[in-house]
Structure 1
Amino acid sequence: MQLMPDSPLRRVALEVEAHVATEGWDQAPRLFALVPTADLVAREPGLADQLSADPDSITPIEQELSGDRELEDLLTEIVWPDAVAGCAAVVERIMLPPEAEASLPDDPDELLAAVAAHPDRREVRLVAAITRDGRTHSTVRAREPIDAELLEGPDLVPGLIEHLLRTLA
């Protein structure tokens, strides 16, 4: 298996995924502001001992979300301040193989029922991380088997990445 090239964005995406994974499955969506660690330490020197000493590192700062709306809907209203270099989101979804799409109903209620009952559905946790300069990194982990491999790459979750990019425009 070839690893992705290492970068501060890749490391923070993996950190966010590992952090969320410690709390198990069936979680609400999570959103993180990504701040250059050096900037954070300059503003809050007392945090220096708790954060990476790597001058290029990025620190994720979790944001509180309203639990009564879909993340994609909330993202249409978010505009990050200049101090935020990027953002990351974590969502759990059900994925189907591409060949299953042709047989899915158009009605939203019927679609949800069909996806939930589909024998080839897979529950997954998606992480997307982006920066203002357009760099992206994403991860996908299946719920089953319990030791499922973490897949990663720059564009594994293009829809979520697109939603996040709009918050930085």
Structure 2
Amino acid sequence: MTGVTSGPDSPQRFSQADLGNALAQCAGYAAAGPWGSPATLFALVPTAVLAQQAPELIDPNDDSALSPVVQEAGDADLETLLTTVSWPDAVVGCAVVTEITVLPPDAESTLDEAFEPLLSDPEAADAAARDAAHTHPDRRQARLIAGVLRSGQRVALLSLRARDGEDASVESDLRTHPTLAPNVLDALASTF
């Protein structure tokens, strides 16, 4: 993200709730697109800074503390993008929305059976575990919405894809758990 700088009067302290609200905006952005979309990276910028420097980017009635700004990723995969991105000072956080496969807790033995014989080859073990997850009969597609702030706050949310016959509103329910997506949160934090 270029062209946005932080002013001396722009506060740099944001709460966990501010981060959660920004992630809900990211989830809404992703929900407007089709399932099967690539991961989307967002810069989290104080709304007050955007109002001063790029007012055309925000709604004048927007009272949120943070505004997500979509980042162009080109053809880069998420891992490559997160190892090469750098942020200007005005960016106080970042977030990503990516699709994942979610399995019920009792599916662990299925995954173990798939990758344990291949542990000497990490790439083969990873591919086998991924294949077992994608073919498991109780799998669910979901969007993972994860974000971090420079100041250390972290939040990860999950939105399940509605199954056939299920009310589509299930996709707007955002769930969280303290142990959700620690590796993704670590990768996001490492961009600062």
Shorter-chain TM band: 0.7 to 0.9
Q: Provide the C-alpha distance between the structure 2 equivalents of 1:160 and 1:14, rounded to a whole number of angstroms.
A: 17
Q: Provide the C-alpha distance between the structure 1 equivalents of 2:178 and 2:54, rounded to a whole number of angstroms.
A: 31
Structure 2 residue 139 is the aligned partner of structure 1 residue 133? no
Q: Decide whether the 8 Å contact of 1:89 with 1:128 is kept in 2.
A: yes
Q: 2:184 aligns with which of 156, 160, 169?
A: 160
Q: Which stretch of structure 1 is more off in the superposition, 117-126 or 28-37?
A: 117-126
Q: Provide the C-alpha distance between the structure 2 equivalents of 1:147 and 1:53, rounded to a whole number of angstroms.
A: 25
Name the % identity: 34
Unpaired stretches in structure 2, ≥5 consecutive residues: 1-14, 119-123
Equivalenced residues, count: 161
Label 1:45 to 1:15 Cα distance change in 2 as closer, same or farther (>3 A): closer
Q: Decide whether the 8 Å contact of 2:41 with 2:95 is kept in 1.
A: yes
Q: TM-score, normalised by structure 1?
A: 0.83
Q: Deviations over 1:22-57 (max 9, x none)?
A: 113111000000000111112234556446245xx1
Q: Computing the radius of gyration over CA atoms, which structure comes out larger, 1 or 2?
A: 2
Structure 2 residue 40 is the aligned partner of structure 1 residue 25? no
Q: Provide the C-alpha distance between the structure 2 equivalents of 1:49 and 1:116, rounded to a whole number of angstroms.
A: 40
Label 1:24 to 1:45 Cα distance change in 2 as closer, same or farther (>3 A): closer
Unpaired stretches in structure 1, ≥5 consecutive residues: none
Label 1:27 to 1:50 Cα distance change in 2 as closer, same or farther (>3 A): farther
Q: TM-score, normalised by structure 2?
A: 0.74
Q: Structure 2: which amino acid aligns with 1:143? A: R
